Amino acid sequence: MQEPVLRFLDLPASEADPGGRRLAYWDWQSQTPRPLSVVVCVHGLSRQGRDFDSLARALTDRHRVVAVDVAGRGQSDRLADPMRYQVPTYVGDLVQLLALFRSRQPGVPIDWVGTSMGGLIGIGVASQPAAGLRRLVLNDVGPVIRWEALERIGGYVGKDPEFASEQAGIEYLASISSGFGPHTPQQWSALSRPMLRQVNGRWRLHYDPAIAAPLRAMLAVTDPQQVAAMVAAGEQALWAAYDAIGIPTLLLRGADSDLLASETAQEMTRRGPHARCVEFPGVGHAPTLVSEDQMAVVRNFLSDPSPAPHQGVEQ
């Protein structure tokens, strides 16, 4: 079975990172000498790049796949300032990674698959014409994010539990991930093992617990008017970025998602890049892209020579 190579991008020193830092990515080489594109895959808030193992294996016959560990997750370095664990930081990091690929392969087409937070980063990158993305896949995320979903995520992200065994860690992850939908025990174990690391005989989660700092600061705001203003400003900025996207876009939605409302998904098919939207029944937030039907939708979109925009939602 094919396995990826772990690589690093050395980000330069800056005022925020005086010593510089490293961004890790998992590189799945294409089985063809002339891949159709480089597919950059970016995970959700508390996840990491090995989430995309199944999808990568399904794509490498025609594509090179690069699955990123966003700052503070997996093998990537942590940030000195926890309040920098936000989308603008990640967009800056990923723009530098895209520049690396282009310097080594001028003219290489680059596609983007982003789950939840990875989709928000993708909206930020794709809204910049200079980024030069070819196609965009947004997995269960859009410019409007339900507050109740943020509260649910805030209830577990950033915690630093310890487990006596790897299996106990896998069971804990299952308890906070019911929205991912049904999985076989084998599928769930494969998704969960990269989320855990052994430290002094105990098992812990792979990320910097401080990734939760910005979300907790936002959820700590209790004044209703301040909350409403904050939400409105965020949505306005995200819609402006989404409307600036001019490339073929595929929107995936779990039919039971508590983060991406059906109304928002419908609006995304009518404005900006006029995304084609596909819903998966029996799934919430977010589809994991390990089942054959989910992977086939992504694969077909990335391989279609001229995908046309759609209106409405498909199932």
* Rounded distance between C-alpha atoms, residue 125 and residue 110, angstroms: 12
Could you report the per-residue pLDDT of 53-80, keeping only the tens digit for each? 999 999 999 999 999 999 999 999 999 9
pLDDT, position 310: 59
Q: How many CB atoms lie within 10 A of CB 227?
A: 14
Average pLDDT over residues 282-302: 97
Could you report the per-residue pLDDT of 25-45, keeping only the tens digit for each? 999 999 988 899 999 999 999
Q: Name the 3-class secondary structure at 163.
A: strand
Residue from 241, 213, 218 nearest 229 by CA: 218
Confidence category of residue 130, pLDDT binned at 50, 70, 90: confident
Average pLDDT over residues 121-147: 95
Phi-psi region of 167 (alpha: psi -120 to 50; beta: other; left: phi over 0): alpha
* Rounded distance between C-alpha atoms, residue 313 and residue 311, angstroms: 7
pLDDT, position 61: 95
pTM: 0.95
Could you report the per-residue pLDDT of 177-199, keeping only the tens digit for each? 988 999 999 999 999 999 999 99
CA distance between the termini of the chain: 31
Whether residue 110 is predicted with pLDDT greater than 70 in this model: the reply is yes
Strand residues in the chain grouped as ranges (E) = 5-11, 21-28, 37-42, 63-69, 110-115, 133-139, 162-163, 196-199, 202-205, 249-254, 276-280, 313-314
Using CB atoms within 10 Å of the CB of residue 40, give its burial: 0 to 12 exposed, 13 to 18 middle, 19+ buried.
Answer: buried
**Sign of the torsion formed by the C-alpha atoms of 244, 245, 246 and 250:** negative
One DSSP character per residue, 215-239 reads HHHHHT---HHHHHHHHHHHHHHHH
Residue, of 131 and 280, whose pLDDT is higher: 280
pLDDT, position 314: 74
Whether residue 49 is predicted with pLDDT greater than 80 in this model: the reply is yes
∠ CA 93-259-178 to the nearest 5 degrees?
100
pLDDT, position 224: 85
- Contact residues for 86 (Cβ-Cβ < 8 A; gap 6+): 214
Query: Do the bridges between strand 133-139 and strand 63-69 make them parallel or antiparallel, or are there none, so unpaired?
Result: unpaired
pLDDT, position 274: 97
pLDDT, position 308: 62
Q: Give 59-114 as a 3 state SS string.
A: HCCCEEEEEEECCCCCCCCCCCCHHHCCHHHHHHHHHHHHHHHHHHCCCCCEEEEE
Whether residue 14 is predicted with pLDDT greater than 80 in this model: the reply is yes
Residue, of 164 and 16, whose pLDDT is higher: 164
Please state whether the peptide bond connecting residue 131 to the residue before it is cis, i.e. omega within 30 degrees of 0: no
If you average pLDDT over every residue of the chain, what do you get?
Answer: 94
Residue 253, both tokens: 């939605």
Whether residue 218 is predicted with pLDDT greater than 60 in this model: the reply is yes
Could you report the per-residue pLDDT of 234-264, keeping only the tens digit for each? 999 999 999 999 999 999 999 999 999 999 9
